């Protein structure tokens, strides 16, 4: 799975949580949870969604590494590559 596909998966997962949001339009450096008003419950559901699609399990200790869209895409891409 390449980065473009991974991005697609992330956008889809975000839209499931925040249907009214436009995650594609987020500036890459913006705090995603703040911008899309994602609380800790929704964030957990977001990670569960990514886990189902990408097979990546994010330990809690890594939550702090998933702030901006760039962070999330980078983190997921690296993990997906690790698994390959």
Partner 1 sequence: MSEFTMPSLGADMESAALVAWRVKPGDQVKRGDVIAEVETDKGVIEIEVFEDGVVDQLLVQPGHDRLPVGAVLAMIRSNGAPAPPKVEPVPAAVEKKPEDAPPVEAPAQPAPVSEKRIRVSPLARKLAAELGVDLSTVQGTGAHGAVERADVERAAEAKKAAEKAPAPPVAVAAPPAPPVPAAAPTTAPLPAKPDSQAAMRRAIAAAMARSNREIPHYYLQTRIDMSRALKWLEEENLKRPLKQRLLLAVVLLKAVARALIEVPELNGYWVNDHHEPQEAIHIGFAISLRQGGLIAPAIHNVDLLSLDELMEAMHDLIARTRSGGLRGSEMTDGTITVTNLGDMGVETVYGVIYPPQVALVGFGKVVEQPWAENGMLGIRPVLTATLAADHRATDGRRGGQFLDILARNLQEVEKL
Q: Minimum CB separation from partner 1 for residue 39, in Å? A: 4
Q: Which residue has the tokens 């760039």?
A: 70
Quick check: 41 binds partner 1 (CB under 8 A)? yes
CA 81, 37, 18, 27 torsion: positive or negative? negative
CA 22 to chain centre: 14
Q: How far is the CB of 51 from partner 1 (least distance, A)?
A: 5
37 contacts partner 1 (rule: CB under 8 A) = yes
Contacts 24+ apart (CB under 8 A), 56-62: 56/80, 56/83
Query: Does residue 40 bind partner 1 (CB under 8 A)?
Result: yes
| Site residues for partner 1 per CB under 8 A | 18-20, 37, 39-41, 44, 47-48, 51, 57-61
């Amino acid at each position: 799975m390449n980065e473009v596909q991974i991005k697609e998966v992330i956008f889809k997962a975000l839209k499931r949580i925040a249907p009214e949001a436009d995650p594609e339009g987020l500036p890459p450096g913006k705090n995603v949870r703040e911008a899309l008003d994602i609380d800790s419950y929704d964030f957990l559901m977001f990670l569960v969604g990514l886990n189902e699609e990408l097979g990546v399990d994010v330990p809690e200790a890594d939550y702090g590494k998933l702030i901006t869209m760039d962070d999330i895409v980078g983190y997921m891409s690296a993990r997906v590559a690790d698994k390959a």
